[in-house]
């Protein structure tokens, strides 16, 4: 998704391919629901994914990488919701996410088009003045993903956070742990997505004077590119609220889900909602103060160990190479050597031995009668010698 064209990214990284796993787990929910341990593992994996991907997204400068990691984080929310038994909110978030995330990917493509394929957000800034349609549509998607009401992301993500605070009999501590984790994730999401928005569209312009030629000057994309963003922006604003009227989404899924029992969270819903909005507002404010109200350096300053690790995806590639790729390659080389030298060697050795023996035996079959007569005579002589010696 980060390497392909942005329309492809919008399709596979927002609403189809990467969400197929979420859909599969949701469709298989009765199987997972039979085991509390299985659901707990799903919830832990989802929560960890949401936090880890959000942490990595905070440190990225490539606009498409930030959006891609936000997708991974939102998928973590969906998987987490499935783990705590809130699979209707999980599918609800999958639907709303498809709209605002596809719109943001297309918006990133529009920015790249206007900036001559530049993807480094440190080279953007102040683009709202030059790309008003992209700014507005991207901004609506941004407000949806950070979960501000009344945008779509608020309705779906809020249901997931509420579900995180629902206690489990005999393990009430899970509600507090999971609830705290997803609240922190909501705050981090608000920060790094606001960071992306402010670094791209607000603050001082940071592109060089040499890039302000007639063809490279920031400009709005043609209507062929902006109209799809407008359509997706409308969905980012209105879809969540429309599907929440009269529990329309739950009613639509009822033939598949049946009646779903409602359980109260350990905290009142208004308190959970207020806590979420406070953390979202805090993340938004911190991003505004650092990336809109202050000068953004065009080169990355000295970073802490954690920041450097996050910029390298928390060394996931290195860990995978050390634990999986290199041992797997060594095992493969060993198996190939064993196959060629032992298995094939045995087969080829038998073949070569048979051929060699046949070559030696063939020399006895000369085709001359005198050779056969001499051989018979030699055999008779040997027999006579044996008889005389042993006196049989």
Which residue matches tokens 């509420």?
162
Residue with tokens 């065009």: 298
pLDDT the model gives residue 188: 95
Tens of pLDDT, residues 176-187: 999 999 999 999
pLDDT for 353 beyond 70: yes
User: In this predicted model, what pLDDT tens digit does every residue of 305-323 receive, in sequence order?
Assistant: 777 787 777 888 888 888 8
pTM of the model: 0.80
User: Confidence class of residue 215 from pLDDT cuts 50, 70 and 90?
Assistant: very low
DSSP assignment of 109-124: HHHHHHTTT--BGGG-
Grouping H, G, I as helix, E, B as strand and the rest as coil, residue 327 is: helix
191 vs 86 pLDDT, higher one: 191
Residue 264 is predicted with a pLDDT of: 85
The arithmetic mean of pLDDT across residues 34-48, rounded, is 92
pLDDT attached to residue 211 = 45
Radius of gyration of the chain (CA): 34
Judge whether residue 144 has pLDDT over 90.
yes
Would you state the structure tokens that stand for residue 182, as one six-digit string?
Answer: 């997803």
Q: Which residues pair with 62 in a beta bridge?
A: 120
Task: Please state the rounded mean pLDDT for residues 291-308.
Answer: 75
Which residue would you say has higher pLDDT here, 390 or 216?
390
**What's the rounded mean pLDDT across residues 80-84?**
93
Q: Of the candidates 188, 144, 187, 184, which has an alpha carbon nearest to the alpha carbon of residue 164?
A: 184
117-121, 143-147, 201-205, 365-369: which has the highest mean pLDDT? 143-147
Query: Residue 41: which of 54, 32, 51 has the closest Cα?
Result: 32
Relative orientation angle of helices 132-146 and 87-114, to the nearest 10 degrees? 160
Q: Is the pLDDT of residue 212 over 60?
A: no
Going by pLDDT thresholds of 50, 70 and 90, the confidence category of residue 392 is: low
The mean per-residue pLDDT over the stretch 118-129 comes to 89
Distance between CA atoms of 311 and 388, rounded to whole angstroms?
96
Higher pLDDT, 54 or 17: 54
- Provide CB contacts within 8 A for 315, sequence distance 6+: 309
% of the chain residues with pLDDT over 90: 43
Query: If pLDDT is split at 50, 70 and 90, which confidence band does 82 have?
Result: very high
* pLDDT recorded at residue 214: 45
Give phi and psi for 120, each to the nearest 5. -80, 115
Q: Which residues of 187-200 are buried (b: 16+ CB within 10 A; e: fewer)?
A: bbbbbbbbbbbbbb
Measured CA to CA, the distance from residue 374 to residue 385 in angstroms comes to 16
* More confident: 364 or 33: 33
Of the candidates 105, 113, 11, the one whose C-alpha atom is nearest the C-alpha of residue 67 is 105
Cβ proximity of 42 and 79 under 8 Å: yes
Per the model's pLDDT, the better-predicted residue between 30 and 92 turns out to be 92
pLDDT recorded at residue 3: 63
Instruction: Kindly report the average pLDDT of the chain as a whole number.
Output: 86
**What per-residue confidence (pLDDT) applies to 1?**
52
CB 83, CB 44: distance < 8 Å? yes
Residue 143: is its pLDDT beyond 90?
A: yes
Quote the pLDDT of residue 270: 93
Query: Would you give the DSSP letter of residue 295?
Result: P
Share of the chain above pLDDT 70, in %: 93
Pure H helices in the chain: 6-12, 20-27, 29-33, 36-59, 63-83, 87-114, 132-146, 152-164, 173-201, 223-244, 248-257, 269-291, 305-311, 316-320, 326-338, 344-362, 369-390
């Amino acid at each position: 998704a980060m390497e392909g064209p942005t329309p492809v990214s919008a399709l596979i990284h927002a609403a189809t391919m990467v969400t197929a796993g979420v859909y599969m787990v949701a469709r298989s929910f009765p199987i997972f629901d039979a085991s509390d341990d299985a659901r707990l593992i799903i919830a832990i994996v989802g929560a960890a994914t949401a936090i880890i991907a959000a942490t990595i997204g905070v440190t990225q400068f490539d606009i498409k990488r930030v959006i891609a990691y936000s997708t991974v984080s939102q998928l973590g929310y969906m998987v987490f919701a499935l783990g705590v038994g809130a699979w209707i909110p999980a599918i609800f978030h999958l639907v709303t996410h498809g709209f605002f995330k596809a719109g943001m990917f297309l918006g990133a493509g529009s920015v790249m088009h206007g900036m001559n394929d530049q993807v480094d957000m440190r080279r953007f800034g102040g683009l709202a003045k030059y790309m008003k349609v992209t700014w507005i549509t991207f901004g609506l998607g941004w407000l949806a993903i950070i979960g501000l009401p009344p945008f779509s992301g608020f309705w779906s993500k809020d249901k997931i956070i509420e579900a995180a605070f629902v206690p489990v009999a005999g393990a009430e501590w899970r509600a507090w742990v999971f609830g705290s984790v997803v609240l922190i994730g909501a705050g981090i999401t608000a920060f790094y997505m606001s960071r992306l928005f402010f670094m791209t569209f607000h603050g001082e312009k940071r592109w060089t004077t040499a890039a302000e030629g007639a063809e490279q000057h920031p400009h709005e994309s043609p209507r062929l590119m902006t109209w799809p963003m407008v359509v997706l922006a409308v969905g980012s604003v209105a879809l969540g609220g429309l599907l929440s009227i009269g529990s329309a989404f739950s009613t639509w899924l009822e033939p598949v889900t049946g009646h779903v029992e409602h359980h109260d969270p350990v905290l009142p819903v208004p308190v959970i909602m207020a806590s979420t909005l406070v953390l979202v507002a805090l993340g938004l404010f911190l991003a505004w103060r650092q990336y809109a109200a202050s000068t953004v350096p065009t080169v990355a300053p000295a970073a802490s160990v954690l920041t450097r690790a996050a910029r390298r995806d928390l060394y996931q590639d290195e860990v995978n190479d050390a634990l999986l790729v290199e041992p797997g390659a060594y095992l493969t080389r060993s198996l190939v050597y064993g196959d060629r030298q032992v298995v094939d060697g045995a087969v080829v050795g038998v073949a070569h031995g048979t051929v060699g023996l046949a070559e030696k035996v063939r020399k006895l079959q000369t085709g001359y009668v005198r050779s056969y007569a001499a051989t018979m005579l030699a055999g008779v002589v040997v027999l006579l010698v044996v008889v005389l010696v042993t006196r049989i």
